[in-house]
Amino acid sequence: GADLVWSPGSQPVLLQLVNDATTSLLVENEEMALPAATSALLRAAHRGVHVTVVMTRQDDWANDFDKLAAAHVDVRTYSPTAALYIHAKAIVADEGTPKQRAFVGSENFSAASLQHNRELGLLTADPTLVATLATTIGSDAAGATPWQH
């Protein structure tokens, strides 16, 4: 049960995963509506972590995408009309290192999802799960378009 991440109340756990990353972060999310998440991703990029964010393009997040891209975050998006819609909520931190961890669940980067809704996710260091998530997010990133406002 310690690996389960329940909402309300999951924001500190997810932000800690981002804050603890030292080499890489792969992120898929449907929303970028939480300033604390954007700030954590920016801090990661500023400390030299290679950060990739894959989402479906929504103009609601354009300001956040601009900030992230300016900090050298690899923001990649799919058109809202693309065959692939990014609905996943997943984070892979430090894949391939002894510190590797991953989150997969239903929590969006939004106050509603992290602080109010009943949501559930899982933290894992299992090498097979981490590698599978990293491969999928990497493939999704390769098929997406680099962010341009």
Q: What digits encode the pLDDT tens for the residues 84-135?
A: 999 999 999 999 999 999 999 999 999 999 999 999 999 999 999 999 999 9
Q: What is the DSSP letter of 26?
A: E
Contacts of 144 (CB under 8 A, 6+ apart): 54, 76, 77, 78
Return the pLDDT at 1.
83
Return the pLDDT at 72.
97
Structure tokens at 105: 């669940």
Percent of the chain with pLDDT over 70: 100
What's the rounded mean pLDDT across residues 3-27?
97
Percent of the chain with pLDDT over 90: 98
Confidence of residue 2 (pLDDT cuts 50, 70, 90): confident
**pLDDT by residue (tens digit) across 46-81?**
999 999 999 999 999 999 999 999 999 999 999 999
Angle between helices 35-46 and 11-20 (to 10 degrees): 10
Q: Which residue has the tokens 């500023």?
A: 46
Return the pLDDT at 149.
83
